[in-house]
Amino acid sequence: MEMDKIAVEDNRDLVKEKLMRREAERQQLLEQKREEKEQRSTGEELSYFFDTFAEKQKEIENALTAAAEGLIEKTQLPNHFDRIGKNVQTLQHFLSSSTMFLRVYDIRKAQEAILTLQQRCQQLEQQLLPKKKFGFKIRKVPNKKDVIFNEKIEDTVDSHSSPVHKLLQNIKENNCGFSGRTAEILSLPHEKIYKKDVVLSNLNSCTVRLPGAPNTLYIAGLSNCKIITGPVTTSVFIENCSDCTFVLACQQLRVHSTTHSDFYLHVTSRTIIEDTTHVRFAPYNLKYENMVHHFQLAGLDVNRNNWDMVDDFNWLASDKASPNWCIMKENEWNIDWM
């Protein structure tokens, strides 16, 4: 009887082991099928993205070529360029919504292609619809804490060695901003910056407040400055800045050659940094009157913020975090901006 009991127990153990092995094999097969399904899905998404992006890019290029070759009547050019601008903005939205399954290299190439389209559009518009050029015009508002300026930034600068020269050389004339200021509080209201390109260059120890919805923001050559903006419709480009604080909301942020700076950020795509070190990121926490309305005008989703998603083009290791940027500790956040 004892032997029979042992045999029964052994048989139960064998059956149990066999069932466990079979369950493990089943789970492994399910996992394999799930991975294959995800790969097919990602492959389909990538194929759709590349095909759609190329198609829309070609449409914009054809529209630009039509304008360059004189196929558009001059009276129709303003509307033609307006449509091109909207199509470029749509393409940027499409890229922003696709970044979750794109490689860093693919994002970079697509952003470069969009920037090329923007620059070519601006160049052609300036060439075919020239406007009267202005030098720096400063309108001072006396007896106010915040000195307000409305400056026209020319598309050339005094020195080709200036860090802002390369950044400004392709920006259309329809812009505003500040340049060459030291230790000033500067601001531009929404009415002055709406749908315009704002340029901030060669500022030292300044605070700049832009409570509105500009089209694009270009920043270069800043030191020890505080830049506080409402939602930017398209992109923010930052170059050659140090010891600054940036409070920004935008579709895309590109930071180059910048160091020892903090970013309070609302961005709907992934931030890209290059040749940049000792920078910290925190969520956008600016509050001001009409801000929600400005987000709507800029077309930014107030509920979608990828502030902590940063791609460092100088750090390719996928198994180790980049040493060039970090998340700011919450107890170090500033909350008083305006």
Residue 36: pLDDT over 90? no
The pLDDT tens digits for 129-185 are 876 544 444 444 444 333 333 344 333 333 334 444 444 444 444 568 998 999 999
Amino acid 241 reads C
Give the pLDDT confidence of 253-293 residue by residue, as tens digits: 999 999 999 999 999 888 999 899 999 999 999 999 899 99
Q: What is the rounded distance in angstroms from the CA atom of residue 41 to the CA atom of residue 174?
A: 43
For the ranges 10-19, 45-54, 139-148, 184-193, which has the lowest average pLDDT?
139-148
pLDDT for 283: 95
* pLDDT at 108 exceeding the cut of 90: no
With 0-12 / 13-18 / 19 or more C-beta atoms within 10 angstroms meaning exposed / middle / buried, residue 251 is: buried
Mean pLDDT of the region 309-337? 85
**What is the spatial distance between Cα 224 and Cα 219, in angstroms, rounded to a whole number?**
13
- How many angstroms from the chain centroid is the CA of residue 145? 32
For domain 9-128, give the CATH superfamily.
Tubulin Binding Cofactor C, N-terminal domain (1.20.58.1250)
The answer to which of 53-62, 117-126, 158-167 has the lowest mean pLDDT is 158-167
Higher-confidence residue of 58 and 96: namely: 58
- Nearest CA among 58, 148, 63, 110 for reference residue 254: 110
> CATH 1.20.58.1250 spans which residues of the chain?
9-128
Q: How far is 267 from 93, CA to CA, in rounded Å?
A: 12
Q: Any alpha helices (H) in 170-290, and if so which ranges?
A: 190-193
Q: Please count the CA atoms within 13 angstroms of the CA of 100 that sit on its side-chain side.
A: 7
- What are 209-254's pLDDT values in tens digits? 999 999 889 999 999 999 999 999 988 999 999 999 999 999 889 9
Closest CA to 95 of 81, 111, 79, 117: 111
Q: Does domain 147-332 have CATH number 2.160.20.70?
A: yes
Q: Please list the residues that pair with 267 across neighbouring strands.
A: 250
CATH 2.160.20.70 in the chain, residues?
A: 147-332
Say yes or no to pLDDT of 42 above 60. no
